[in-house]
């Protein structure tokens, strides 16, 4: 059975990624930090559907905790076949109001975590001569967003990480790809009013927010054999907002 590690997997897009990977036959390791009950509920849901999953608490901003998590998985299961770097935060703030602490937390949560965890996991994948890494970026990593400059910087960095690492790891049969969702109906959209969301949707050619299922569909495609010749690519489910 193939082993998948999904960071930030207990809720939102991450939880749907875990559900769909489990349905594909992956044994899913659900990484979480604060959402323990959500992780427990998700495991129960997956098991009811005859899937396999377990949870692991880890602050992805902490290199020692990342090392411990990878060591635990390798010791228990012998490998990590798929890494989905999904953990992240968002913040809506004027550029001049972003503090150094805000900036560092954003970069550490969204970008450095993926860089460091990929580095740890790649060591094991190279020895197997196979593996997949999927980074969850954002449409704002492609185009930038007003009032979300530090978020855009971090998500753009994930795209750069994807492209560079894909070239380096392709000879080892390791694929690195990226999903860059547009406006998705998750908790991250809760700081917008109903009127703001309606106005925003008017600018989306498909006229609506995306769903977590639609994002997870892209991830499970990249995790499948159907995507065996794809690496270094950015798939952006965004309803036509950016073409």
Strand, coil or helix: 133:
strand
Give φ, ψ of 151 to 5 degrees. Answer: -65, -45
CA distance 38 to 9: 9
229 is catalytic: no
For residue 56, list its beta bridge partners.
31
Nearest C-alpha neighbor of 79 from the set 175, 166, 5, 172 = 5
Q: From its phi and psi, is residue 94 left (phi > 0), alpha (psi between -120 and 50) or beta?
A: beta
Contact 151, 94 (CB under 8 A): no
Nearest C-alpha neighbor of 6 from the set 37, 34, 39 = 39
Q: Pick the catalytic residue from 32, 52, 151, 229.
A: 151
Active site residues: 151
């Amino acid at each position: 059975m193939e082993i998948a590690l999904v960071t930030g997997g207990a809720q939102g897009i991450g939880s749907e990624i875990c559900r769909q990977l489990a349905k594909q036959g992956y044994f899913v390791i659900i990484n979480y930090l604060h959402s323990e009950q959500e992780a427990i509920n998700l495991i129960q849901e997956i098991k009811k559907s005859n899937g396999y999953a377990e949870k692991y608490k880890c602050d992805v901003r902490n290199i020692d905790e990342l090392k411990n998590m990878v060591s635990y998985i390798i010791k228990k299961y012998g490998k990590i076949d798929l890494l989905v770097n999904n953990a992240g935060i968002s913040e809506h703030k004027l550029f001049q109001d972003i503090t150094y602490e805000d900036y560092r937390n954003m970069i550490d949560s969204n970008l450095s975590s993926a860089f460091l965890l990929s580095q740890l996991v790649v060591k094991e994948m190279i020895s197997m001569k196979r593996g997949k890494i999927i980074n969850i970026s954002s449409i704002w990593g492609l185009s930038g967003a007003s009032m979300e400059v530090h978020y855009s910087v971090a998500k753009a960095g994930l795209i750069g990480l994807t492209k560079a690492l894909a070239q380096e790891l392709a000879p080892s049969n390791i694929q690195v790809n990226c999903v860059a969702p547009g406006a998705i109906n998750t908790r991250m959209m809760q700081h917008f009013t109903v009127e703001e969301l309606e106005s925003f949707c008017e600018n989306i050619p498909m006229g609506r927010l995306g769903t977590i299922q639609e994002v997870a569909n892209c991830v499970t495609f990249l995790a499948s054999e159907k995507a065996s010749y794809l690496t270094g690519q950015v798939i952006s489910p965004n309803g036509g907002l950016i073409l």
